[in-house]
Chains A and B, each alone.
Chain A
Amino acid sequence: MRSNTKKLIILAVIAIISILLYAFYDIKGGFDYAFPRRMMRVGAMVVTGFAIAYSTVVFQTITRNRILTPSIMGIDSMYEVVQTLIFFFAGSLSVWVVNQYLNFATSIVVMVLFALLLYRFLFRADKYPIYLMLLIGMIIGTLLGSLVTFLQVLIDPIEFLSLQNRLFASFTNIKVELLYISMGIIIIAFIYGYRIMSQLDVMSLGRENAINLGINYDRLVMNILVLSSVLIATSTALVGPITFFGLIVANLSYQFLVTYKHSIHILGAGLISVIALVGGQFVVEHIFEMKTTLSVIINFIGGIYFIYLLLKESRAAG
């Protein structure tokens, strides 16, 4: 317990140091210009970092599987569908793209509605196990992915480039108002999330033990799925799809902090996200000089880590 507190403090210190480094490194000339912009990006990274950490940790608890992320339900493929459809039918100069509020709101609403519909139709816990639901989610996700690819092939190449910009996660151009709205949504989600924290600990004992201990299992699973969809939808609409990232930070937290307590893992995974995002963005801006994007780096490192996890899990199982 005490060593976990110490580790959390270390993580917090590293997070603050990386934020300070990112905010003040090589800040020449227009401090008044650069500083607020950098802080804005930091804000976005903290918000998305915690949103992704939270939704991945709780999703892994209810599925009892540590190599899944909520993206398996196809929520961020839905984001790509929305953006591609907009570019395909309305074009990059239409109000749906130019007006960022409209784009943001449409994306969130469609993603959350999609998730709700999926759960509504699929979630009959006594009839179908949760894995069947995941499998169907995965198939729908793949279907949507193929649909998106098909539409993208038909799009004008120049339009496609500006579409592709939206489909890569980026912290570079974030509208301040959207950031505030996202913060609002995420804070509300976190207040509910905080209240169910101890129930989540019980959930990790499995369905039968959780019900035995008085958890209203089916309702809680549904609430968690909806909550994590809202978080994923918000962070995806704000910066683009980087849910894969959640897998890395959640597992790093499991390895680093030895406890069953969700409050500690969520805090830990959130801090690790902030460190990775701010650190990654620093590398992108100052070492690669914006020649690559953060999501490329995240997917590269995340992919390697994912393979490591798969090998480790299969060894543990065998």
Chain B
Amino acid sequence: MIEIKELTKRFGSKPVVNNVSVKIQPRAITSFIGPNGAGKSTLLSMVSRLLDADTGEVLLDESNVKKWKSDQFAKRVSILKQSNYLNVRLTVRELISFGRYPYSKGRLTDEDEQFIDQAIDYMNLGDMQDKFLDELSGGQKQRAFIAMVIAQDTDYILLDEPLNNLDMKHSVQIMKILRKLVDELGKTVVIVLHDINFASVYSDYIVALKNGSVVKSGPTVEIINRDALREIYDMDIPVQEQNGCRICVYFNSY
């Protein structure tokens, strides 16, 4: 169980995340949504200890994430950020193998190889596993990084805008895989999303941030409606039901 308690982070004097408290529901997809600069990525970075909070704390199983041993924490929680620039030449499979580092410390066992094969299957990377990453398109690279995180086999998977640079087909593919990870393997996924409709269709819970504070949080149905959206985005967005999905038609609203 991950619990965020009264977390605050300032860059300079401006609070980017301001007194945020959220409980992440296990075995579900929770989406962080909100306008640009709302503090979504900063919040995610603090949960995954990439960034230290100024005040407040993040608890994993009731103990502060800073008190966890790094290698133990890496077996429970994984994080993937938006930009992943590499200056080493790696093949897709080599990259994914790094996901097993917390377990094997660089010496892969048969069990590790199984997890790697599984992750490759999950992300449909079988035919390009021996290609070098710099030969791949942005979307393929992104899928390879997500496969690394899947191979890491953590209970919690945190993703910072994983759909960036992806076309519709691959975005849907990735969201479906995340859904499968939750429904079949019992993982907990926390994801920063820009596209409100992906959040609406695929997530169980939504946390909406604005100017560093939580404006709304709760099950998806409670957030995806005209009133709540107006509060979050300052836009009047009609919501339409289509094949059982609630779609926000924001393109011509103001």
Do they bind each other?
Answer: yes
Binding site for B on A (CB under 8 A): 64-66, 126, 197-198, 201-202, 204-209, 211-216, 258, 260
Interface segment out of the listed B69-77, B202-210, B228-236:
B69-77
DSSP majority for the A interface? loop
Contact with A along B79-90 (1 / 0, CB 8 A): 111001111111
* Cβ < 8 Å to A, chain B residues 47-88: 48-52, 70-75, 78-81, 84-88
Give the nearest-CB partner of B71 in chain A: A214
Give the nearest-CB partner of A212 in chain B: B79
Give the nearest-CB partner of B74 in chain A: A214
Query: Which of B81, B84, B90, B99 interacts with A213 by CB under 8 Å?
Result: B99
Supposing A202-B101, A205-B98 touch, asked if A212 and B78 sit within 8 A by C-beta, the answer is yes
Say whether B220 faces chain A, with CB atoms less than 8 Å apart.
Answer: no
Shortest distance between the CB of A45 and any CB in chain B (Å): 29
* Cβ < 8 Å to A, chain B residues 115-140: none
What is the CA–CA distance of A216 and B68 in the complex, to the nearest angstrom? Answer: 11
Give the nearest-CB partner of A220 in chain B: B70
| Contact status B51-A260, CB under 8 Å | no
Shortest distance between the CB of A186 and any CB in chain B (Å): 24
Question: Which residues of chain B have C-beta atoms less than 8 A from A126's C-beta?
Answer: 51-52
Query: Which of B70, B80, B89 interacts with A216 by CB under 8 Å?
Result: B70
In the complex, given contacts A202-B98, A202-B101, A213-B99, what are 15 additional A-B residue pairs having Cβ atoms less than 8 angstroms apart?
A65-B87, A126-B52, A197-B106, A201-B98, A204-B87, A205-B88, A209-B84, A209-B98, A211-B50, A212-B74, A212-B78, A212-B79, A212-B152, A213-B101, A260-B88
Query: Which of B78, B88, B102, B105 has the largest count of A CB atoms less than 10 A from its CB?
Result: B88
Contact with A along B99-119 (1 / 0, CB 8 A): 101100111000000000000
What is the CA–CA distance of A270 and B95 in the complex, to the nearest angstrom? Answer: 26
Say whether B94 faces chain A, with CB atoms less than 8 Å apart.
Answer: yes
Supposing A126-B52, A208-B79, A208-B81 touch, asked if A213 and B89 sit within 8 A by C-beta, the answer is no
| Contact status A212-B48, CB under 8 Å | yes
Query: Sorted from nearest, which 10 A-B pairs have the closest CB atoms?
Result: A214-B74, A198-B106, A214-B71, A214-B102, A213-B101, A260-B88, A216-B70, A204-B88, A214-B70, A208-B81
What is the CA–CA distance of A212 and B51 in the complex, to the nearest angstrom? Answer: 12
Question: Which residues of chain B have C-beta atoms less than 8 A from A211's C-beta?
Answer: 48-50, 70, 79
Query: Which of B72, B86, B106, B107 interacts with A206 by CB under 8 Å?
Result: B86
Shortest distance between the CB of B116 and any CB in chain A (Å): 14
Question: Which residues of chain B have C-beta atoms less than 8 A from A215's C-beta?
Answer: 70
What is the CA–CA distance of A208 and B83 in the complex, to the nearest angstrom? Answer: 10
What is the CA–CA distance of A206 and B133 in the complex, to the nearest angstrom? Answer: 15
| Contact status A214-B98, CB under 8 Å | no
Give the nearest-CB partner of B68 in chain A: A214
Q: Can you list 26 residue pairs at the A/B interface with Cβ under 8 Å?
A: A66-B87, A198-B106, A202-B98, A202-B106, A204-B87, A205-B95, A205-B98, A206-B84, A206-B86, A208-B50, A209-B84, A209-B98, A211-B48, A211-B49, A211-B79, A212-B78, A212-B149, A213-B101, A213-B152, A214-B70, A214-B73, A214-B75, A215-B70, A216-B70, A260-B88, A260-B94
What is the CA–CA distance of A209 and B146 in the complex, to the nearest angstrom? Answer: 12
Contact with A along B161-172 (1 / 0, CB 8 A): 000000000000
What is the CA–CA distance of A214 and B70 in the complex, to the nearest angstrom? Answer: 5
Supposing A211-B49, A211-B70, A214-B70 touch, asked if A260 and B90 sit within 8 A by C-beta, the answer is yes
Question: Which residues of chain A have C-beta atoms less than 8 A from B74's C-beta?
Answer: 212-214
| Contact status A205-B86, CB under 8 Å | yes
What is the CA–CA distance of A206 and B98 in the complex, to the nearest angstrom? Answer: 12
Question: Which residues of chain A have C-beta atoms less than 8 A from B89's C-beta?
Answer: 258, 260
Question: Which residues of chain B have C-beta atoms less than 8 A from A258's C-beta?
Answer: 89
* Cβ < 8 Å to A, chain B residues 147-192: 149, 152
Question: Which residues of chain A have C-beta atoms less than 8 A from B94's C-beta?
Answer: 260
